[in-house]
Structure 1
Amino acid sequence: MIIELNNTRTREIAAKIDELHEERGEAALGRVLTLLIATDEGELEHALELANNASREHPCRVIAVVPHAGKARAAAKPEPEAVADGRAAQGGRTGKTQVFVDTQGGMAVDAASESGRSNLDAEIRFGADAGAGEIIVLRPRGGLVHHPDTLVIPLLVPDAPVVAWWPTEAPANPKTDLLGAMARRRITDAKRSSNPARTIEDLRRNWSSQNIDMSWTRLTVWRAMIATMLDQPPHLPIISAKVSGPKDFISMTMLAAWLRLKLGVSVTIEDVPGSDAVTGVYLTRADGVLSLERPSVEEGVATISTPGQAPQTISVPARTLEECLSEELRRLDPDEVYAEVLTRGWDLIHPQR
């Protein structure tokens, strides 16, 4: 079920959701969190599909904020006093346009808009179109694109944690972003941004324990398998390590930084032309090289080679975005290992940066 509300207000959206819950004989109290998605129209449906699937494991209310195409750039940036704090009504000048925000009434209107127009369109998805929860798509126009927090606050699930997710382009500092500031967990994906290197450097410079990047989440299976390999006898010291994969691949650099921190040995990175994921990890010991290789993501078959033993093949398919998102929604506490890798290990691999 998809319901469209044009020129609406957040209080009308909230009332409609309550009405739909009443009709279906259910309550929003079963939602374990509110997932905020900041994206654009081009990425919206893909992001909602991932959120739908993840919500079957983590029932949640999904709120996607998608500024109308072209409107965000045309709108004048508001002065600091024009931004509401979510507790009281206030007005502010945005160029020649004045925006008034009244969070108690759930209303955000543009005084320069036509009479009766709210500069906000919305879409409510229920049932099969929304996984195990409900989806609210907010499409602000004009000055409202600069006030996503005041639009979202009246729609949050009471007493449930808030998670913010940027499927592609993320703010330089998610912690100070208007949506990110409300979140207990902030999920980014440097790999899918237009400039992965710059994105990860922004995250490093503005590090917060509440931030996590999916470049790290993609390594969960690799890290688990490497830990299992090292747990098998003989427990000989590792002399050096090497990882291989695509050039300037964020996940590969993170894996190298993790090995450098945990093993305390030098780690080299080998570029593999034509690859699109980590292809191998090689740990040198006194008795030879202990390795884990997955040359092809499409085949999804990895080979474990241990000195003195016959090679073993295991199935290691590439992790999907749905699996990565579900993992991060499952674990809302700070990831201390990721923090070490980003703040300490990265510089050990790239000291020149």
Structure 2
Amino acid sequence: MRIDLTDTTSSRINSGLIEARRAIGTPAVGMVLTLVIATDEGGAYDALKAAHEASREHPSRILVVIRRPGRSPRDRASARLDAEVVVGDEAGTGETVVLRMHGELANHAESVVLPLLLPDAPAVCWWPDKAPENVGEDPLGRLAQRRITDGSAVEDPVGSLQNRARTYAPGDTDLSWTRLTPWRSMLAAALDQKHGKITAASVEGEAYNPSTELLALWLADRLGVQVERKVSDGPGLTAVRLFTSDGDICLDRPDGALAELSVPGQPDRHVALKRRETSELIAEELRRLDPDDIYRATIQFGLKHLVNPGKEGEKAEPETPRSASAKAAAGAPARKPASGKPASGKAAGDK
């Protein structure tokens, strides 16, 4: 069921939700959180589609905030709230409210969202594209226990990671980090087996790909070795190599779907490592609302190491670009192909 409300208020929207639920016989119980999506008209469709898919695992009240401040002084001075209430099959397993805030009201979105939050339930705020510089201090961000950004959707992905490190607050996360969960799990499982001393590592992926940068940072931080960042043609993250005294451990995914894992002394095997849809990433983030300490440690470790890599398609030289972690520790020289001095290794799994 769909109800359109023009020049309305939060109170009328709540009444519309109750009316819609009664009309289709859907109870309010069962929704576990409120998901606030701050986007624009261009990104609203894709974001809502992903949120509805994720709501099949996490029944939610979805609030879409679309700001329309206007261009002329007269438009900016006026204030109006239009809403679209959707309940039933079109809203996944929860309910959806699309909020279009006009004029001065666009600068006070939190005053509209606050009365619409589910009582006694956590709130999550997601910026699918451009996010505020400091999401923890943003008025919408203050309402949420979890704040989700996406570094791959901005013009300067590596710069956005640096900004996230500088402004980090417990509850912040980024979908660029979420995309790495299968990679980190596979590498940790490979290192749980018997292996020689790890001396260095390399990470290959598209230029300006934030997930590639984060994986290199994570390896450098957890293993304590020098990690070389190489630029490939993609798609996305393509390969990780860990150099050990027994041979190379390699996880190679050239096509974005199927990867090959090579471990010294074992037969090569293929593993499913497909690039996941946004809905799967959001569903994963909604499973845990506590602070992600590994993400925090990774981005803060990289604050002094992140440097934009070369142009897309250009192959990196052995010592450049020094992006995510060409230095495993401050002051260490960049690793050379054959003469880099090995450093001691630590377990790579999340402890």
Larger CA deviation: 18-27 vs 121-130: 18-27
> Which residue of the partner structure matches residue 85 of structure 2?
124
Letter in 2 for 1:62: I
Question: Does 1:339 find its partner at 2:296?
Answer: yes
Cα distance change on mapping 1:350 and 1:188 into 2, 3 Å: farther
Cα distance change on mapping 1:73 and 1:212 into 2, 3 Å: farther
Per-residue displacement from partner, 1:277-300 (whole Å, max 9, x unpaired)?
Answer: 111111111111111100111xx1
Whether the 8 Å CA contact 2:165–2:303 is kept in 1: the answer is no
Find 1:221's aligned residue among 179, 182, 190.
182
Shift of 1:350: 6.6
> Which residue of the partner structure matches residue 162 of structure 1?
123
> Which residue of the partner structure matches residue 12 of structure 1?
12
Matches of 1:244 and 1:153 in 2, distance apart? 44
Question: Does 1:295 find its partner at 2:254?
Answer: yes
Whether the 8 Å CA contact 1:254–1:346 is kept in 2: the answer is no
Whether the 8 Å CA contact 1:127–1:134 is kept in 2: the answer is yes
Structure 1: runs of 5+ lacking an equivalent = 78-93, 98-112
Whether the 8 Å CA contact 1:39–1:166 is kept in 2: the answer is yes
Shift of 1:178: 1.3
> Which residue of the partner structure matches residue 208 of structure 1?
169
Matches of 2:263 and 2:30 in 1, distance apart? 48
SS of 1:179 mapped into structure 2? helix
Larger CA deviation: 25-34 vs 319-328: 25-34
> Which residue of the partner structure matches residue 242 of structure 1?
202
Whether the 8 Å CA contact 1:72–1:145 is kept in 2: the answer is no
Letter in 2 for 1:281: V
Matches of 2:117 and 2:70 in 1, distance apart? 23
Cα distance change on mapping 1:64 and 1:247 into 2, 3 Å: same
Shift of 1:346: 4.6
SS of 1:228 mapped into structure 2? helix
Matches of 1:200 and 1:345 in 2, distance apart? 9
Cα distance change on mapping 1:322 and 1:344 into 2, 3 Å: same
Shift of 1:275: 1.2
Shift of 1:72: 4.7
SS of 1:268 mapped into structure 2? strand
Find 2:234's aligned residue among 244, 260, 275.
275
> Which residue of the partner structure matches residue 65 of structure 1?
65
Identical aligned residues as a percent: 41
> Which 4+ runs in 1 deviate beyond 6 A?
none
Per-residue displacement from partner, 1:120-167 (whole Å, max 9, x unpaired)?
Answer: 111011111100100000101111101101111111111111100000
Whether the 8 Å CA contact 2:33–2:60 is kept in 1: the answer is yes
**TM-score, structure 1 normalization:** 0.83
SS of 1:125 mapped into structure 2? strand
Whether the 8 Å CA contact 2:21–2:87 is kept in 1: the answer is no
Per-residue displacement from partner, 1:226-257 (whole Å, max 9, x unpaired)?
Answer: 01111122x32211111111112111111011
SS of 1:275 mapped into structure 2? coil
Matches of 2:202 and 2:326 in 1, distance apart? 15
Whether the 8 Å CA contact 1:257–1:346 is kept in 2: the answer is no
Cα distance change on mapping 1:331 and 1:193 into 2, 3 Å: same
> Which residue of the partner structure matches residue 52 of structure 1?
52
Whether the 8 Å CA contact 2:33–2:123 is kept in 1: the answer is yes
SS of 1:279 mapped into structure 2? strand
> Which residue of the partner structure matches residue 260 of structure 1?
220
Cα distance change on mapping 1:268 and 1:245 into 2, 3 Å: same
Whether the 8 Å CA contact 2:260–2:271 is kept in 1: the answer is yes
> Which residue of the partner structure matches residue 156 of structure 2?
195
Matches of 2:156 and 2:223 in 1, distance apart? 30
> Which residue of the partner structure matches residue 315 of structure 1?
272
Matches of 2:36 and 2:74 in 1, distance apart? 24
Matches of 1:76 and 1:212 in 2, distance apart? 38
Matches of 1:188 and 1:350 in 2, distance apart? 26
Structure 2: runs of 5+ lacking an equivalent = 306-324, 331-351
Alignment of 1:22-101 (within 5 A): 22-68=22-68, 71-72=69-70, 74=72, 97=77
Cα distance change on mapping 1:350 and 1:242 into 2, 3 Å: closer
